[in-house]
């Protein structure tokens, strides 16, 4: 029911066209001296509100109203202030279920509303907090009530995806869905059918072709709509956002892109649950019949609008598909009414009772008068009459529950959190003329890319974070900023120097193509294999380094006698922090013994150190690389990077790999030919083939000479007989 423009002081509202959807990059800038306005925000004049049924709405799709400053209509702001108190009581005064690091610097509150949560976070954390909403709220009143803060407020509609969903398919699912028993099932928002997906893909392809025809000189795809924040956030929060978006896959993907590595997302909302049914299951005795009817009608209307109500959008699969890890849920039952005996629960139940009734009064009119249920489009009078009966039923049920005549009614509050990986995900994608080209699943190229990406992810995987005690003296050593042997010098000592010696000896002093090839190849295999094995073990074991606590910089007040996780750390350098769980085995030790150990084995073989009566000089030259590797390993204990156990295992690992690769190409050191590599099987085959050909040629040549000799003998005998007869 759309109405004309309201006058200040009137409860009637005007209809204005909804603002066009645009990306944040196209938003104009404005600033205000009254509050902290971001330079990326829209101006107040850019937003055009829609007025229906005596309430004001921020656009033409969202079912909940907002405030209207010219008319002093603050009913929705009062409701959200009470709702904020219920969320606080449910978490026993906490604003979030996520344990944020004190070093958190940027926080985003999506759909901030009056900004109660954003202001609370800004007061609790020394971070830049950004609150964004599609409508303008009375922020001055909120700050005067909750307290002043330095929140950056932005005004923008984040529903920038203009694609429409398949409404008919969504409505068809109504017949197979129970609103009262499946409030969190993802089925209503499940993926499209294969035919729908094909249709959507064809539509996108046609759009791409049309774009190319309109601008044939542009081969670059137009950027997809998004939020385009200038800087990443470490924590993004959403609350009470049911039915705010149509395509939640896009929303979670955009949130994932807007988070910094290691950042967290938290989504909070609630559903009304269901009033306990009587034991006899008699339909005539179903409690709160009018409320159940209104609830079902509202759900059906939301399905017809393309934005289903309920907490479907909080299904863990959405976060997992977007790439989030460590997905966890927290649920708290909140009483509706003052039926609990506990005084604190009675207080929160009273607030929740107000929230239920005020939310119905605010949200039902647009849903039922614009979209209606499966049977009809409601009038405003029908909605108000139904709400009046429902209010009476709720109050009566609450009173009976207080007397113990019926079972109490609880609403279910839910929080779901997820973390973005510390390492960015590698996703291969190819584009041609603005159209995404997806390689076939069974192609060799795709399989090779997939295998390569899995290997990269495995090698760059973040280590397992063991829990630890702050009073553990074994990990309480100081963190040395300057190492005795840095990574650069390690590659020089254990990499460049051995490679130079091997190359010079094999190519200059004792030249030989095959020998130079297998010597350098064996050394490279030894180094790469050691690096790979060491890194895999480090990440899998996750043993804390001796200087872990110094790296961690735990937050003040962290208990010293309890097991804690890395979330108590305040270190902002992610590499320094997470490297604290990569102690076993020592990488310096394994790398140095792999490179220098291989060199020692090779020198020992070239000098024949195991032959009888070998002079001492040869032995010392062969042992010199091992002494250098041992000094590098010892330096790791002196820098408090590792303990003796880490260094010992790393040294044995590196030496074992070096010996394995050396013996693949050279005989044992006790062999008389230990300085000569094994012959190349290909060369041996070629040599044997050449000798066979030579033998065949000689045999053929001998047969030909025999035939020639026999032929010559016959000619001589024939010549003698002829001369005799002539005589």
At 271-329, the pLDDT tens digits run 987 776 665 566 666 788 899 899 889 989 988 888 888 888 999 999 999 999 999 99
Quick one: residue 637, left, alpha or beta (phi over 0 = left, psi -120 to 50 = alpha)? alpha
| Residue 625 preceded by cis peptide, ω within 30 | no
Q: What is the pLDDT of residue 221?
A: 47
pLDDT tens column, 526-583: 999 999 999 999 999 999 999 999 999 988 778 888 888 888 888 888 889 999 999 9
Q: Report whether pLDDT(472) > 80.
A: yes
Q: What pLDDT, on a 0 to 100 scale, did the predictor assign at position 340?
A: 93
Question: Is a pLDDT exceeding 60 seen at residue 236?
Answer: yes
| Catalytic hit among 517, 608, 642, 659 | 642
| pLDDT at residue number 167 | 55
Residues 241 and 313: beta-carbon distance below 8 Å: yes
Asked if pLDDT for residue 354 goes beyond 70, the answer is yes
Q: How far apart are CA 241 and CA 255, in angstroms?
A: 14
pLDDT at 27: 36
Can you read off the two tokens belonging to residue 301? 């209307």
> H or E element: which one contains 332?
strand 325-335
Lowest-confidence pick of 429-438, 615-624, 712-721: 429-438
Average pLDDT, the chain: 78
Which is catalytic among the residues 116, 588, 608, 659?
A: 588
Q: C-alpha distances in angstroms, 525 versus 153, 588, 594? A: 57, 17, 10
Encode pLDDT of 181-229 as tens digits: 555 555 554 544 444 444 444 444 444 434 433 444 444 444 567 788 8
pLDDT in tens, 356-390: 999 999 999 999 999 998 889 999 999 999 999 99
In angstroms, the CA 335 to CA 574 distance is: 42
Q: What is the pLDDT of residue 453?
A: 46
Q: What is the number of other CB atoms lying within 10 angstroms of the CB of residue 455?
A: 11
Please give the order of strands across the beta sheet that includes 410-419: 152-155, 128-133, 106-110, 233-239, 259-271, 410-419, 325-335
Between residues 678 and 199, which one has the greater pLDDT? Answer: 678
Distance in angstroms (rounded) separating the CA atoms of residues 218 and 212: 7
Question: DSSP string of 83-134?
Answer: HHHHHHHHTTT-S-SS---TT--EEEEET-TT-HHHHHHHHHSSSEEEEEES
574 classed as catalytic:
no
Task: Provide the β-strand partners of residue 256.
Answer: none
Which pLDDT score is estimated for 39?
43
Angle between helices 116-124 and 139-146 (to 10 degrees): 50
> How many Å apart are CA 670 and CA 608, to the nearest integer?
8
In this structure, what DSSP letter does residue 673 have?
T
The superfamily in CATH containing domain 24-192+225-419 is: Vaccinia Virus protein VP39 (3.40.50.150)
Q: What pLDDT shows up at residue 279? A: 59
Confidence label for 515 from pLDDT (cuts 50, 70 and 90): confident
Number of other CB atoms surrounding residue 308 within 10 Å: 25
Residue corresponding to tokens 């320094």: 576
Write down the pLDDT at residue 55: 87
**Which residues are CB-neighbours of 354 under 8 A, at least 6 positions away?**
82
pLDDT of residue 479: 93
Neighbours of 38 (CB within 10 A): 20
Active site residue 588: yes
Cβ atoms within 10 A of the Cβ of 265, count? 26
Q: Which two tokens stand for residue 196?
A: 């729908």
> What does R_g of the chain's alpha carbons equal in angstroms?
39
pLDDT digits (tens, 9 = 90+) for 122-148: 999 889 999 999 888 888 888 888 877
Q: What percent of the chain has pLDDT over 90?
A: 45
3-state secondary structure of 495: helix
On the 0-12 / 13-18 / 19+ scale of CB atoms within 10 A, 254 is: buried
Judge whether residue 711 has pLDDT over 90.
Answer: no
Tell me the average pLDDT across 516-526.
92
8-state DSSP, 481: S
Instruction: Yes or no: say if 470 and 564 are a contact pair by the CB < 8 Å rule.
Output: yes
Q: How far apart are the first and last CA of the chain?
A: 147
In the chain, what percentage of residues exceed pLDDT 70?
Answer: 70
């Amino acid at each position: 029911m759309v109405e004309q423009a309201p006058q200040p002081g009137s409860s009637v509202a005007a209809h204005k066209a909804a603002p066009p959807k645009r990306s944040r990059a196209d938003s104009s800038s404005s600033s205000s001296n009254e509050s902290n306005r971001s330079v990326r925000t829209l101006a107040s004049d850019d937003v055009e509100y829609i007025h229906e049924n005596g309430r004001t709405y921020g656009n033409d799709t969202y079912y909940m109203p907002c405030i209207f400053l010219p008319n002093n209509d603050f009913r929705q702001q009062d409701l959200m202030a009470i709702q904020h108190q219920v969320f606080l009581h449910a978490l026993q005064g906490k604003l979030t279920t996520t344990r944020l690091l004190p070093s958190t610097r940027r926080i985003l509150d999506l759909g901030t509303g009056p900004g109660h949560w954003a202001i609370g976070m800004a007061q609790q954390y020394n971070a830049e907090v950004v609150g964004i909403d599609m409508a303008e709220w009375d922020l001055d009143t909120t700050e005067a009530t909750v307290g002043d803060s330095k929140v950056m407020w932005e005004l923008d509609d984040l529903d920038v995806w203009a694609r429409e969903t398949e409404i008919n398919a969504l409505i068809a699912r109504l017949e197979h869905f129970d609103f009262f028993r499946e409030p969190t099932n993802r089925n209503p928002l499940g993926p499209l059918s294969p035919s729908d997906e094909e249709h959507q893909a064809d539509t996108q392809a046609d759009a791409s072709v049309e774009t190319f025809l309109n601008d044939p000189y542009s081969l670059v795809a137009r950027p997809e709509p998004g939020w385009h924040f200038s800087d990443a956030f470490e924590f993004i929060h959403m609350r009470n956002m049911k039915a705010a978006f149509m395509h939640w896959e896009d929303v979670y993907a955009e949130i994932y892109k807007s988070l910094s590595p290691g950042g967290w997302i938290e989504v909070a909302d609630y559903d009304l649950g269901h009033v306990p049914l009587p034991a006899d299951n008699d339909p005539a005795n179903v409690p709160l019949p009018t409320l159940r009817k209104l609830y079902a009608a509202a759900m059906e209307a939301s399905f017809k609008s393309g934005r289903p109500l309920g907490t479907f959008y909080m299904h863990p699969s959405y976060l997992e598909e977007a790439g989030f890890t460590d997905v966890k849920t927290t649920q708290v039952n909140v009483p509706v009414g003052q039926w609990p005996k506990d005084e604190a629960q009675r207080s929160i139940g009273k607030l929740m009772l107000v929230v239920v009734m005020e939310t119905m009064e605010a949200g039902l009119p647009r849903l039922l008068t614009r979209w209606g249920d499966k049977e009809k489009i409601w009038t405003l009078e029908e909605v108000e009459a139904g709400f009046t009966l429902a209010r009476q039923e709720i109050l009566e049920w609450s009173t009976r529950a207080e007397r113990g005549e019926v079972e109490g009614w609880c609403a279910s509050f839910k929080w779901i959190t997820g973390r973005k990986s510390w390492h960015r995900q590698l996703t291969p994608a190819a584009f041609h003329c603005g159209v995404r080209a997806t390689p076939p699943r069974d192609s060799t190229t795709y399989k090779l890319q997939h295998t390569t990406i899995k290997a990269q992810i495995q090698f760059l995987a973040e280590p397992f974070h063991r829990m630890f005690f702050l009073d553990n003296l074994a990990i309480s050593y100081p963190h040395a900023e300057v190492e005795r042997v840095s990574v650069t010098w390690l590659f020089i000592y254990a990499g460049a120097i051995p490679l130079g010696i091997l190359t010079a000896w094999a190519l200059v002093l004792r030249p030989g193509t095959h020998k130079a090839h297998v010597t350098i190849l064996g050394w490279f295999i030894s180094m790469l294999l050691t690096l790979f094995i060491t890194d895999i073990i480090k990440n899998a074991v996750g043993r804390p380094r001796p200087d872990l606590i110094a790296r961690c910089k735990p937050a003040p007040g962290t208990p010293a006698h309890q097991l804690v996780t890395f979330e108590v750390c305040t270190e902002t350098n992610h590499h320094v922090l997470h490297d604290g769980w990569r102690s076993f085995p020592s990488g310096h030790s394994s790398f140095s013994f792999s490179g220098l150990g291989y060199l020692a084995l090779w020198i020992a073989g070239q000098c024949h150190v195991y032959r009888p009566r070998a002079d001492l000089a040869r032995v010392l030259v062969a042992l010199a690389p091992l002494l250098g590797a041992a000094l590098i390993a010892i330096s790791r204990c002196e820098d408090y990077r590792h303990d003796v156990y880490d260094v010992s295992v790393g040294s044995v690992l590196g030496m074992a790999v070096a010996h394995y690769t050396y013996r693949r190409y050279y005989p044992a050191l006790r062999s008389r030919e230990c300085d000569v590599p094994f012959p190349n099987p290909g060369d041996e085959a070629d040599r044997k083939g050449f000798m066979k050909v030579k033998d065949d040629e000689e045999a053929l040549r001998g047969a030909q000479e025999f035939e020639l000799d026999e032929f010559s003998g016959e000619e001589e005998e024939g010549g003698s007989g002829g001369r005799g007869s002539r005589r």
